[in-house]
Structure 1
Amino acid sequence: MRSPKLSRKTVLVSSVAGAFAVVGGGAVIAEAASRRGGDEPEGDVPVDDETTPDWVETQMASMSLADKVGQLFMVYVHGESADTDHADAVASNLERLGADNGAAFIAGFKPGGIIYFDWANGLTDPEQIVALSNGLQEAAEVPLLIATDQEYGRVVRIGEPATQFPGAMPLGATRDAEAARNAAETAGSELRAMGLNLNFAPDADVNVDPANPVIGVRSFSSDPELVAQFTTAQTGGYQAGGVAVSAKHFPGHGDTGTDSHLGLPVITHTVEEWERIDAPPFKAAIAAGTDLVMSGHLQFPALDDSLRPATLSEPILTGLLREQLGFEGVIVTDSLEMEGVRTEYGDERVPVMALQAGADLLLMPPDFPLAYDAVLAAVDAGELTEERIDASVRRLLALKVKRGLIEEPSTDPSGLDVVGSDGHRQVAADIADRSITLLANDGTLPLAAGSVLVTGWGENTTARLTAALNTEGLQAEALVTGDEPDADRIKAAVAAAAGRDLIVVSTFDVKAGGAQANLVAELRKSGVPVVTAAVGTPYDAAHLGAVNASLATYSYTETSLASLAKVITGAVDPTGTLPVDVPDANGGTAFAFGHGLNYT
């Protein structure tokens, strides 16, 4: 029989001098212990490939249903330390989790993992990050999966001083899978040094929709085989660097015009198109031994005519991913805070439905106490069996064993010297140098000397590019016009261009006839040569008309902008080639997959 329901009122746990007090009555830790039942395990069982099943079963035998349900959740906690008493962090944790900090929450509910975000955990100082990781692990009886979304490029949670790599599409532009593996291994070693053991990467989506608002440069390419090759490379690389990996977003998020953070996308591919376009990278990831596969919050009618989002679809998660593709690892949901999974079902039903569909790890429910109680109630009501819960917990425990967390859950801070090391930064710089793609050039580039106006999108982008051009020997000045420059800003840019030898315009997410396109059109009339640099997707180039030179960086990281400056000045010969087709306004192709010019 299930223990009495733990209401929001009775789970407000706060840590006081190493003990725990309860806001609203009831001894939470005592209640949690009674839920667990039985004796605590006497210690870690030595782990190797032969003893893994025995350790998992020993651990399972020591866990109550409540303990097991806790393992099914990964949440974020607020605070830069595990035992934070910062008022804002405590208030946020109490509201979402029912505990005042990470340590108290972990002790009370035994979650399977914690996910980091810069806005929740700081993440600016490697020493702080590893201390947070170790503090959370010290509070856990079963070691935690500690994760983040460190795709690099457009999606990055841990910034400088950690090495900043260009991201997926720039890697695709290099056509070098070994470089992708090296980037992942290098990045993985830095994450592991800071106490993280899981990265929600690589992105296995095939970006075949140029208007895709959520994937874009997060994808390696529009070519399924290229994405499969690079997904395989990065899977092995991250694991070699010491972290588990998760291919995402199954069954494929690359052909949608809706952002699943904001709504429910619909993928209209046929089964045959799914087999040809979306499936190859996931098949490759599974063959390469990916630890997890993340579901996407999207409808795929050809795969499940019930129109449930894939996260809640048994035909997709169990029938397709488990049974047809043979994936035996952990299925993790995308964030349950996203609107794509909440459009038709309440926050109390979504976790239960995800487990019924075949998910193992429930990521970021918006109301943890509600979700936790809902899963326990579903078992009590017979909607979920304890055997179903056990199957997921066994996979999670086996993953923790596989990635060495049982023997070594904490991290030695003395290993932090790898984070942002000169050698790692050089790896990133070399990749960025090889990714810059020259789409068009009338002979204007390279420019080894002269006066340059840097304008366009992004205050940090224009400032960093200006500094990099000055480092390369040009006399550059910046004038930010932004993503929607008005007539006055455009007029100011034209005036600032007078007398210059070159104008470099950074662009991001340009729309046909939009303000950024108008800026470029007016600058072209100035008589000064104009070079455009797409620092997001390369699709911008189709909307900017004929310019003297057009480049794609696929990234606005400082590393990529430094490489862009080297290409503009000729210090580096561009060798990147398009990993996607860039369509023109008439339904044709402006620049084809594989296109890329150089100076030699």
Structure 2
Amino acid sequence: MTPEEKAGQVLLPSFAGQQVEAQAAAIERLHLAGSIIMGDNVPRDPQGKVDLASMTAINQRLSEATAADGSPWPGIVAVDQEGGIVARLGAPLTVWPSPMSYGAAGNTTLTRDAGQGLAGELAPLGFNLDFAPDADVTVGPGDPTIGARSMSGDPAAAAAHSVAFSQGMLAAGVLPTVKHFPGHGSVTADSHISLPVQNAGVEELKGRDWQPFRAAIGAGVPMVMTGHIAVPALEPGVPASLSAKTYAELRGLGFKGVAVTDALNMGAITKQYPAGSAAVAALAAGADLLLMPADAAQAHAAIVQAVTSGTLPKERLDEAATRVATMMVWQGRQARLAAPAGSAAPVSAKVSAAAVTVVAGNCSGPLVPGAVRVAGGGPGDKERFEAAAARAGLQVGSGPLVSLIGYGGAPAGGDVAVTLDAPWPLQGSTAPVKVALYGRSDAAFDALAAVLAGKAPAPGKLPAAVGPYPAGTGCP
């Protein structure tokens, strides 16, 4: 491969809206590894649902562009599909609850089934890589960014569920990505906006944040994402995604796969590294795949120039491009499940039913009489609750007040407080009955309504401490 081809092989950019032909032309011109599909790239029908035929056609067109070079391996067609708040694709594909549901349910077989179910619906659309699962260990309310994207606040549980989910995805033929090394669940700033600082020492990180990554590496995951987090104990002021010492620690855990950066167009990077300098710095530090550079052509030119001038060793670019190509050769040989859109809905329902957690309140019998009122939540939440209540035989319009608390919501009063994302607001709630649901799907609301009506148990346990309620709180 020429230096220009190698430089393209380490770049995975995004594109704007429906500019598919412009992206295909850029892939061919710059020899790019492929594309990531973001929310604004997803075609939708008049009802706002994913247009499956159009999505498949877009992914096919992008794949054809990567094949124009004659490479014997498939191009990358990636997406961010974790479940919960990070889901670029919605109905008619299965809607999944927040990943914290897996930690609350505590069943790794179910977690593996979910990973396979989610990935199995991506594969027939042409996706071959998903930036999931999130392996971060949350520290609770002090974690403003990851929250319910984390599977657990317990490092061993986060490790077990991250591995199980990854293995399920691989069984469907889609590459997983464990993220965000060296751990984003224990920092108090959002790297989309600024550079968070991880003040823990290396030994503390090894004992907590790195446990899931060590387990995933031991299980043979193909890709690990580095986060935009500064770790003074490793390299003060430098984002981990651009830090040679961070990549050395990652490789020291035995990792031999592809190290991918978090998106290079995020505030933590663009404020500090102008033009194509972030791409060159990340490669020089040890990254193999550069996700979403702010300007792909600029990043490509900067890499070629750095290799030509000798400021970036040719061997480093060779190593990175070889790792990416090797991973895709391997992926191309895997059998792929072709699961119809929505076919994993029973698994999603099973996850929510196993995860729903009564943090305060009775563990047997109905939690409400035959009628309830409902308030709060985000768009569509009240309507979904009302429909689920009707299916469970509950009237809506009188009786105890159920307060729904959505993503980032404040603590609420009423008679029953229900968090639909991270459970942290329950610690400040004055409601006598407190329930953590970890999801906003129809199936999650069905699980909630069944528990409220006394028709189903609430088997879930808090996967992280919530104020006075320790991890593990829940019904026996």
Q: Say yes or no: TM over 0.5.
A: yes
> Any runs of at least 4 consecutive aligned residues in structure 1 with deviations exceeding 4 A, and if so which?
442-445
- Structure 2 counterpart of 1:420, one-letter code: G
Q: In the TM superposition, what whole-angstrom CA distance separates every residue of 1:155-210 from its partner, at most 9, and x where no partner exists?
A: 11110011112131011101101110000011111111111000111111100142
CA distance in 2, matches of 1:394, 1:461: 47
- Structure 2 counterpart of 1:309, one-letter code: P
- Structure 1 counterpart of 2:35, one-letter code: I
Q: In the TM superposition, what whole-angstrom CA distance separates every residue of 1:97-147 from its partner, at most 9, and x where no partner exists?
A: xxxx22212221221121011212326122221111111112222321111
Is the counterpart of residue 335 in structure 1 residue 273 in structure 2?
no
Pairing of 1:63-462 with structure 2 (within 5 A):
63-80=1-18, 82-83=20-21, 101-122=22-43, 124-141=50-67, 142=71, 143-304=74-235, 306-317=236-247, 319-322=248-251, 324-404=252-332, 418-421=340-343, 424-441=344-361, 446=366, 450-462=370-382
The equivalent position to 1:544 in structure 2, one of 415, 421, 429, is 429
Q: Secondary structure at the match of 2:193?
A: coil
Q: Does the 8 Å contact 2:421/2:437 carry over to 1?
A: yes
Q: In the TM superposition, what whole-angstrom CA distance separates every residue of 1:38-92 from its partner, at most 9, and x where no partner exists?
A: xxxxxxxxxxxxxxxxxxxxxxxxx211111111100112354843xxxxxxxxx
CA distance in 1, matches of 2:449, 2:275: 48
Q: In the TM superposition, what whole-angstrom CA distance separates every residue of 1:189-234 from its partner, at most 9, and x where no partner exists?
A: 1111111000111111100142311100000111100011111111
Q: Does the 8 Å contact 1:536/1:553 carry over to 2?
A: yes
- Structure 2 counterpart of 1:463, one-letter code: E
The equivalent position to 2:389 in structure 1, one of 469, 478, 491, is 469
Q: Secondary structure at the match of 2:390?
A: helix
The equivalent position to 2:448 in structure 1, one of 564, 578, 581, is 564
Q: Are the structure 2 counterparts of residues 569 and 350 from structure 1 closer, same or farther at C-alpha, using a change threshold of 3 Å?
A: same
Identity score, percent: 36
CA distance in 2, matches of 1:538, 1:417: 32
Q: Are the structure 2 counterparts of residues 447 and 301 from structure 1 closer, same or farther at C-alpha, using a change threshold of 3 Å?
A: closer
Q: Does the 8 Å contact 2:181/2:224 carry over to 1?
A: yes
Aligned to 1:31: none
- Structure 2 counterpart of 1:111, one-letter code: L
With 68-77 and 354-363 compared, the bigger mean Cα shift is at 68-77
CA distance in 1, matches of 2:328, 2:363: 56
Q: In the TM superposition, what whole-angstrom CA distance separates every residue of 1:263-301 from its partner, at most 9, and x where no partner exists?
A: 000011111111111111000110111111101001111
Shift of 1:443: 7.9
- Structure 1 counterpart of 2:457, one-letter code: D
Q: TM-score, normalised by structure 1?
A: 0.75
CA distance in 1, matches of 2:238, 2:363: 54
- Structure 1 counterpart of 2:242, one-letter code: L
Q: Are the structure 2 counterparts of residues 78 and 190 from structure 1 closer, same or farther at C-alpha, using a change threshold of 3 Å?
A: same
CA distance in 2, matches of 1:246, 1:442: 40
Q: In the TM superposition, what whole-angstrom CA distance separates every residue of 1:13-51 from its partner, at most 9, and x where no partner exists?
A: xxxxxxxxxxxxxxxxxxxxxxxxxxxxxxxxxxxxxxx
Aligned to 2:402: 504
Q: Are the structure 2 counterparts of residues 360 and 417 from structure 1 closer, same or farther at C-alpha, using a change threshold of 3 Å?
A: closer
CA distance in 1, matches of 2:261, 2:313: 20
Unmatched runs of 5 consecutive residues or more in structure 1 = 1-62, 84-100, 478-499, 524-529, 584-589
Q: Secondary structure at the match of 1:192?
A: helix
Is the counterpart of residue 577 in structure 1 residue 461 in structure 2?
yes
- Structure 1 counterpart of 2:246, one-letter code: I
CA distance in 2, matches of 1:125, 1:348: 35
Q: TM-score, normalised by structure 2?
A: 0.93
Q: Which has the higher contact order (CA 8 A, sep 6+)?
A: 2
Shift of 1:444: 9.7
CA distance in 2, matches of 1:468, 1:220: 26
Q: Are the structure 2 counterparts of residues 462 and 348 from structure 1 closer, same or farther at C-alpha, using a change threshold of 3 Å?
A: same
Q: Secondary structure at the match of 1:327?
A: coil
Q: In the TM superposition, what whole-angstrom CA distance separates every residue of 1:291-345 from its partner, at most 9, and x where no partner exists?
A: 11101001111122x421101100111x2112x1121100100000111123322
Aligned to 1:7: none
Shift of 1:552: 0.2
Shift of 1:457: 2.3
